[in-house]
Amino acid sequence: MCGIVGYWQRGGDDERQRRGLGDAVKALARRGPDGSGTWFDGHGVGLGHTRLSIIDLSSAGAQPMACHDVEIVVTFNGEIYNYREIAAELAKKGHTFISSSDTEVVLAAYREWGPACVDRFIGMFAFAIWDGPQGCLRLFRDRIGVKPLYWGWDGRTLCFGSELKALRALPHWQPQINAVAVGEFLQYAYIAAPRTIYQGVHKLMPGHWLNLGREGGPTVRPYWRLADVLAKGERIESDAVLEEELEALVESAFRYRMVADVPVALFLSGGLDSSLVAGVLKRCGFTPQAFTIGFESDRHDESAAARKVAAALGLEHHVARISSREAGTILDQWPTFYDEPFGDHSGIPTYLVARLARERVKVALSADGGDELFCGYGGYPLVGSRMQRFEGLPALARSAGRMMDEMVAGVPMGNGPVGARVKSALGHGLVHDRVLKLSGYLAAASPSDAIRPFRSFFQPREIAAMMAVPYADPRAGAGEWPGEPMERLMATDLGEYLPDDVLVKVDRATMAVGLEGREPLLDHRIVEFAFRLPLRLRNGPLGNKHILRSILYRHVPRPLVDRPKQGFAVPIADWMRDLLAKGDVADSIAVLRESLPMLHAVQLDGAVTAFAGSPQGINRLWLLHALGRWTEHWKP
């Protein structure tokens, strides 16, 4: 696991640009504390790398890495778990290797197969290749988006990096805040690819690659799409055959994630997914150390359940508990970890469990993805039924929804500000929140758009009223997936919530302490298999994750894992009360008033008083606080 950064400046670079690349590499030092390097071709191309040594710890695995006889150079972040099999295939074709690193295999595979090499990779990756003979720079990102990759193009220079802080260090960086992304953050608590918080800077979409040649601008193309998987249709084998095949896939994926020249550990919550990883690994002969974070609040603490699972499997188990005070210290560092606005507060315990694990190991397995692949979220049935009912709504109800949406959000209507009076009557509590969601639901243009109000913290009409520039939900009209409503929800989450919230959280939290996080359930073979399963095997007689439960019960005693889903819930209300009492939230809102001119200052006045009294308001205040902290740290 590493950090990558680089640029291609057409017409040649200069000493200032090269020094900037060195600064960019230093900005990524936490991602790779074991070494760093830069490479320049002398004609405008610069590549940088920071290294976390996991496979081939010797200097032979250092990067950027070049072919010995031709100018093809790579800077690579991630792991190719099946690199040994690929190396054996390439050896038969005449390739020789001087290291045992997967990076050298990536280089040889590209030389043999060109961009199609990624079709052979099982792993997580983001890498850049300068192809001197072809005169092109190419960027690649893994299918699911486990590893991040940002890029920008100004008509002359293409720059890229694992994190935005690396791009900020380059001398031509001229940041301009993307107002749409500010609104999107307030609506969803994260910013989805390809957008970023900055204009002209993009996230490379998962399963895509970018090409920039000697002429023209960059082109971005997919090499893997979920739509192509779904087009193959539902599997028709018996339930027993499908279950057996999935178990074999799971075992293969989990074995691959243990490939390393250093010890590999496990994040253990005691829930279904992490218990499955632990149980299958134990069957395969692995007994990784397990790490768990608990909370002072018993209502949010799962450490006792994790302790029972670890004991049943004979795992060495390490537990730490979070206090409100410790959570506050992490919030002070929040903008340095998540260097664009990020509102998933479960990033706090994720960082702390990563820090706990890093005291003993350099690699830890996380169990993300099970919910999105196997219908694990408790809200799926409810929201799915709403999608189904939406299709039968008469036009009159939708028209009434649009009128209600305008009134409740406080938008002037007709000859007078009716919305302000309605909002005053409803207040800012639960009723107000539910009416806003209902009006947005009724006013939606499609079933997929109809679910978005229920997943929004601020509704688009509210955000539009808060902003000095127009705002509309940038995800609206994204298209409909095939299948039952719950299947469509899972597909939406695989493309949005998983890569741009969950995986961002884990990547930044682990990389902040120089720990490699691996995602065994997100092996693309498991993803493809899951999305071709009949829905009854994802949500069936055993409950959600039916087929995973069936496998899990063979490895872990059922009573230890058969309990209500808790997720990585955190006591955010308790933490926010502390921040409110200290005045930190008010300070953050003051920063927004002064530093983000696209927000109406008058709309921010009184936000603490308006929102502090309800759970919905607490979450809104948290987003304003997180945005204010980010703005204070990174403001242009």
Residue 566 domain-assigned (yes or no): no
Note whether residue 372 is domain-resident.
no
Q: Long-range contact list for 31-34, CB < 8 A, 24+ apart?
A: 31/1, 31/2, 31/3, 31/77, 31/162, 31/163, 31/511, 31/514, 32/1, 32/2, 32/3, 32/514, 33/514, 34/514
Same-domain pairing of 505 and 445: no
> Which segments of the chain have a pLDDT < 70?
1, 297-300, 395-430, 564-569, 636
Token pair of 580 as six digits: 């409110």
Do residues 183 and 294 share a domain? no
- Report yes or no on 89 lying in a domain: yes
| Rounded Cα distance, 516 and 105, in Å | 20
Domain boundary (191, 224, 257) is at 224
Say yes or no: 499 and 597 in one domain: no
**What is the predicted pLDDT for the residue at 433?**
77
Q: Domain limits at 417?
A: 380-480
**Residue 95 sits in a domain of what CATH number?**
3.60.20.10
The predicted structure's pLDDT at residue 413: 29
Closest CA to 461 of 473, 452, 450, 469: 473
544 and 577, same domain (yes or no): no
| Residue 428: predicted pLDDT | 54
Same domain? 143 vs 178: yes
Angle at 509 between CA 147 and CA 176, to 5 degrees: 70
- How many Cα atoms occupy the beta-carbon half-sphere of 108 within 13 Å? 24
Out of 189, 224, 259, a domain closes at 224
Residue 300 is predicted with a pLDDT of 63
Q: Which long-range contacts (CB under 8 A, 24 or more apart) does 152-158 make?
A: 152/198, 152/200, 152/201, 152/202, 153/200, 153/212, 153/217, 153/218, 154/200, 155/217, 156/9, 156/10, 156/11, 157/7, 157/8, 157/9, 157/10, 158/7, 158/8, 158/212, 158/218
Q: In this structure, are 18 and 167 located in the same domain?
A: yes
CATH number, position 236: 3.40.50.620
Q: Could you tell me if residue 506 is inside a domain?
A: yes
The total domain count for the chain is: 4
Distance in angstroms (rounded) separating the CA atoms of residues 368 and 518 = 9
pTM for the model stands at 0.94
Are 508 and 387 in a shared domain?
no
The 10s digit of each residue's pLDDT in 402-458 is 666 666 655 432 333 444 443 443 345 667 778 888 888 888 888 889 899 999 999
Q: Please tell me whether residues 63 and 120 are part of one structural domain.
A: yes
Contact 84, 11 (CB under 8 A): no
Are 125 and 79 in contact, with CB atoms under 8 Å apart?
yes
For residues 268 and 205, state if they share a domain. Answer: no
Distance between CA atoms of 587 and 337, rounded to whole angstroms? 20
Q: Are residues 193 and 289 in the same domain?
A: no
Would you say residue 331 lies in a domain? no
Same structural domain, 344 and 266 = yes
pLDDT of 427? 47
Asked whether residue 329 is domain-assigned, the answer is no
